[in-house]
Amino acid sequence: MDKIVIEGGRRLEGEIQISGAKNAALPALCATLLCPGRFVISRVPRLRDIDTTIKLLSGLGVEIGWDGENVLAVNSENLKNVEAPYDLVRTMRASCLVLGPLIARMGGARISLPGGCAIGERPINLHLKGFQKLGADISLDHGYVTADASDGLKGGRVYFDIVTVTGTANLMMAATAAAGETVLENCAREPELLFLAEMLKSMGAEIKGAGTDRITIKGGRKLKPADISIIPDRVETGSFMAAAAITGGHLVLKDCNPADVESVTSKLVETGCKAQCGDNFIEITGPEKLKPVDLETAPFPGFPTDMQAQMMAVLAVADGTSVITETVFENRFMHIAELRRMGANIKHSGSTAIVNGVDRLFGAEVLATDLRASASLIIAGLAARGKTELRRVYHLDRGYQRIEEKLERAGANVCRVKDV
């Protein structure tokens, strides 16, 4: 197993290329199940979650493989299996995104329940209620969901009791095969969902309202394969912005979408950062001393929960007290204990964390508890005095493509080594 070793105290300077978004690539790969044929998907990040999805699709009969550094060739012609087993679904909750496409194309599916995850419970009951609204019979047995729509899906109205990104994606894909019109209400508005809708439209689907809380799909149109390029990863973008902020550095982030990270940029500007945005780049400079800010996570376009841990690392060395409120996941403060090991002064109760800024963090041996927590510990390590060793980097590899190499090219003293 690997670990990341950081000698802190260096100011970041340079350009960093932003990778394709994991959270756009995963539903896009699942969408290839909707119709037979060959797809070419470019700008796919090389991540553990992508590898898991490749294994999952291969098990369903899809021919899929790399055709270049970040290009996947997908042939969904010979889809023959409709079961997603536990040993794959348990490692990545987004595996449930095969359910909608399989119901749409094959008239049924059987997948393992994903269960919870480290940052909190994320049940798929809203997905299942939505499929039932479209005419699917749903049953639960021995930890598996079986969906039967052998008589075909029919359009209907689905209201999500809670805003759900994967639920919106799953129902959007299923509804492309439902006869008549489907209206999804209280939808998630994330950029990755707008991207999925654009992909589905390029395949021949008729979809309106993506990016708003009400999406309308006229189903039953014959779909065809399409070649697509994955949008930039907004969480990776925000993470590197945080790295520039905490080191007082200057970074130019290339091939990103500034509109997707406006809430993060706004908060970093409040801390004293300077930011200049172009059509596809962000230039950010960190201040000599960071100012405290308060923030509350919320669904897009609010401040993303996936940036909460990274921002906490930044505010741990701000000149004053910040208050962070987490409203999306109930267990997303596990990184606090590790930041405290580095000298951070953070107290929390329930969904609120009080971050009292300290003059300096100190290197320590720390453990990644989840994907975004691992990024926060790397960011903290960049500013810490001495050596930081991050273990359990398999969490990091789920969502960041070679982050240590990108940081090293920008001046960080960071490397990946074998953890003996």
Q: Which residues are catalytic?
A: 117
Both tokens assigned to 279 = 């059509």
Both tokens assigned to 32 = 């290839």
Q: For residue 255, which of 235, 237, 276 has the smallest C-alpha distance?
A: 237
Segments in 60-178 forming alpha helices (H): 86-89, 99-106, 125-133, 165-175
Q: For residue 329, which of 93, 160, 127, 121 has the smallest C-alpha distance?
A: 121
Let me know: does 143 contact 83? Beta carbons within 8 Å.
Answer: no
Q: Which residues contact 52 (CB under 8 A, 6 or more apart)?
A: 88, 91, 92, 95
Radius of gyration of the chain (CA): 22
Mapped onto helix, strand or coil, the DSSP state of residue 134 is coil
For residue 63, the cross-strand partners are 75
Residue 361 backbone dihedrals phi, psi, to 5 degrees: -95, 160
CA 277-404-338 angle, to 5 degrees, is 95
My answer on whether omega of the bond before 301 falls inside 30° of 0, hence cis, is yes
Per the listing, tokens 């399409």 go with 226
Count of helices and strands (H, E) across the chain: 13, 24
What CA–CA distance (Å, rounded) separates 30 from 27?
5
Residue 100 backbone dihedrals phi, psi, to 5 degrees: -60, -50
Total residue count of the chain as it appears in this document: 420
